[in-house]
């Protein structure tokens, strides 16, 4: 069963890579200089911590779920809380409704990821393909939502970054199903570095859109 699940995910990863080539450490950026002061520095660090937690707790869920550990429920709850924390972090700039909507989209991202992992673990090809389609559609929805909120956030850039995030998570799951522990470590390292880039893109966009809040 595990070999079958690995083959399914390996094929899925190959198809995804052919459809959208990527270099996790060389994403195009449009960073322009922003004023560096305690407020901007603290805000950027807060965003980095939130998105690093996103990767960290997702990794913990993958480990716990694939190994059927007893902490799956606790880890899942902490992972979902992180999505609420990210949503709350934008409320001072975009309001209660927008923050709740982002949290909702991110929670969907996590719940679909659960379906992806479960389908891969059980070797259910049809369920895996269906979950993967929903996963990428959700990523597009997040990119669209954010790009409409801030002119500094390009839909295409965010879409590419979020798709890369999904591909790196898939790499990690494939590696763990194949007991390729070094490959799992490398996928996590790439995923963490990539997510910090996303955090910087988002924080810099907010600072540029609301400069008076960071004086």
- Residues in the chain with pLDDT values less than 50: 2, 6, 10-11, 14-30
**Which of 157, 179, 155, 159 lies closest to 167, judged by CA?**
159
Tokens matching residue 90: 């934008």
Token pair 């660090």: residue: 45
Q: Can you give the pLDDT at residue 21?
A: 40
The reported pTM is 0.85
Is the residue at 30 inside a domain?
no
In a domain, 29, yes or no: no
Going by the DSSP 8-state scheme, the letter that residue 68 receives in this structure is: T
CA atoms of 191 and 185, how far apart (whole Å): 10
Which pLDDT score, from 0 to 100, does residue 35 have? 75
Question: What is the C-alpha to C-alpha distance for residues 155 and 141, in angstroms, rounded to an integer?
Answer: 10
Q: Judge whether 178 lies within some domain.
A: yes
pLDDT of residue 19: 40
Report residue 196 CA to chain centroid gap.
Answer: 10
Task: Confirm whether 23 is domain-assigned.
Answer: no
| Per-residue confidence (pLDDT) for residue 14, from 0 to 100 | 40
Lookup result for tokens 């960073």: 31
Assign 202 to helix, strand or coil: helix
| CA 121 to mean position of chain CA atoms | 20
Contact 158, 17 (CB under 8 A): no
Domain-located, residue 84:
yes
Model pLDDT, residue 4: 52
Q: Is residue 20 part of a domain?
A: no
The answer to whether residue 147 sits within a structural domain is: yes
In a domain, 85, yes or no: yes
Task: Report how far residue 170's alpha carbon sits from residue 147's, in angstroms, rounded to the nearest whole number.
Answer: 25
Task: Quote the CA–CA distance of 87 and 90 in Å, as a whole number.
Answer: 6
Q: pLDDT tens digit string along 37-94?
A: 999 999 999 999 999 999 999 999 999 999 999 999 999 999 999 999 999 999 999 9
Question: Which three-class secondary structure string do you get for 37-60?
Answer: CHHHHHHHHHHHHHHHHHHHHHHH
At residue 60's C-alpha, the angle toward residues 54 and 64, to 5°, is 145
Considering its fold, how many domains does the chain have in total? 1
Which domain range does residue 113 map to?
A: 2-11+39-214
């Amino acid at each position: 069963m595990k070999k079958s699940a690995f083959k399914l995910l390996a094929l899925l990863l190959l198809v995804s890579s052919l459809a959208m080539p990527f270099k996790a450490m060389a994403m195009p950026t449009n960073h322009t200089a922003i004023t560096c002061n305690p407020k901007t520095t603290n805000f950027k660090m807060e965003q980095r911590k939130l998105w690093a937690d996103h990767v960290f707790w997702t990794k913990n869920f993958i480990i716990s779920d694939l190994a059927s550990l007893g902490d799956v429920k606790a880890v899942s709850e902490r992972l979902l809380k992180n999505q609420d924390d990210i949503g709350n972090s934008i409320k001072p700039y975009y309001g209660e409704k927008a923050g709740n909507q982002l949290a909702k989209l991110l929670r969907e991202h996590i719940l679909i990821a659960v379906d992806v992992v479960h389908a891969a673990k059980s070797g259910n090809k049809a369920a895996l393909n269906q979950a993967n389609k929903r996963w990428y559609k959700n990523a597009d929805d997040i990119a669209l939502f954010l790009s409409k909120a801030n002119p500094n956030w390009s839909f295409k850039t965010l879409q590419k970054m979020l798709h890369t995030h999904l591909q790196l998570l898939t790499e990690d799951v494939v590696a763990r199903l194949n007991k390729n522990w070094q490959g799992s470590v490398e996928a996590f390292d790439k995923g963490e570095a990539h997510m910090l880039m996303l955090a910087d893109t988002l924080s810099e966009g907010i600072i540029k859109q609301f400069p008076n809040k960071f004086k």
